[in-house]
């Protein structure tokens, strides 16, 4: 399958995915990195893996829909089968969600439905939770509300800081996201309403 990764920042999740693809553990190809920040480090990582990049500046468009229309046209022209949101910090509209519903996933650094939105790591820490983790879910019209595909738990220790907990959650993400993308590449993930099944 052909994958497009959407990212806005460092791109360490892209890196983990690209390494798994390069090492043949995921039978897919990452065709494109879409990024809303022309200076994001993820673009450097994409170049290292010879992955094409598409960057855009949202403020140069009249609306969210306007740049999403352009992106959808490009994704369709490239025959993209799966969109992976990995640290993409923009809300999406139905322009992108409609055509890709069931073929667009996101990774979130908390155990949804707990702690959605920005700073999921800090929310869990502030709340005093004892267990948090990472979630991979299908993207729907809401924020971090789509059907859940897989989750991985991470313990919160008493002396944890945003940095130490964040690092541990990202380690879990680097395992969880490639695993889920691999399942999707093998056609093992089915979606029925909110129910997601991983078939053998
Ligand atoms: C990840 O922790 C992801 O869960 C969150 O943003 C972070 C992106 O990190 N949505 P990176 O850009 O993949 O390093």
Q: How many CB atoms lie within 10 A of CB 79?
A: 9
Give tens-digit pLDDT for 88-117: 999 999 999 999 999 999 999 999 999 999
Pick from 7, 8, 11, 12 the residue to mutate for probing ligand 1's pocket: most ligand atoms within 8 Å of its CB.
12
ipTM: 0.97
Pick from 6, 8, 9, 137 the residue to mutate for probing ligand 1's pocket: most ligand atoms within 8 Å of its CB.
9
Residue among 153, 154, 160, 151 nearest 125 (CA):
160
**pTM greater than the 0.90 cutoff:** yes
What is the pLDDT at residue 64? 96
What is the pLDDT at residue 32? 98
Residue 104 phi/psi, 5-degree rounding, is -140, 125
In Å, how far are 53, 161, 168 from 102, measured between CA atoms?
Answer: 23, 35, 29
pLDDT bracket for residue 29 (50, 70, 90): very high
Closest ligand 1 atom to residue 15 Cα is: 13
Residue among 122, 89, 111 nearest 11 (CA):
89
């Amino acid at each position: 399958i052909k994958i497009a990764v959407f990212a806005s920042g460092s791109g360490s999740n892209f890196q983990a995915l690209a390494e798994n693809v390069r090492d043949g553990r995921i039978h897919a190809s990452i065709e494109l990195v879409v990024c809303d920040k022309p200076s994001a480090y993820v673009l450097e990582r994409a170049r290292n893996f010879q992955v094409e990049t598409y960057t855009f500046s949202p403020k140069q468009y009249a609306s969210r829909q306007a740049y999403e229309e352009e992106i959808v046209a490009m994704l369709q022209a490239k025959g993209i089968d799966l969109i992976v949101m990995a640290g993409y910090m923009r809300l999406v509209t139905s322009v992108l969600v409609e055509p890709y519903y069931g073929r667009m996933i996101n990774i979130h650094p908390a155990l949804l439905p707990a702690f959605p939105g920005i700073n999921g790591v800090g929310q869990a820490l502030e709340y005093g939770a004892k267990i948090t983790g990472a979630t991979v879910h299908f993207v729907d019209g809401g924020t971090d509300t789509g059907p859940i595909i897989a989750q991985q738990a991470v313990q919160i220790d008493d002396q944890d800081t945003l940095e130490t907990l964040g690092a541990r959650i990202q380690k879990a993400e680097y395992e969880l996201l490639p695993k889920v993308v691999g399942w999707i590449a093998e056609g093992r993930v089915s979606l029925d309403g909110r129910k997601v099944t991983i078939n053998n």
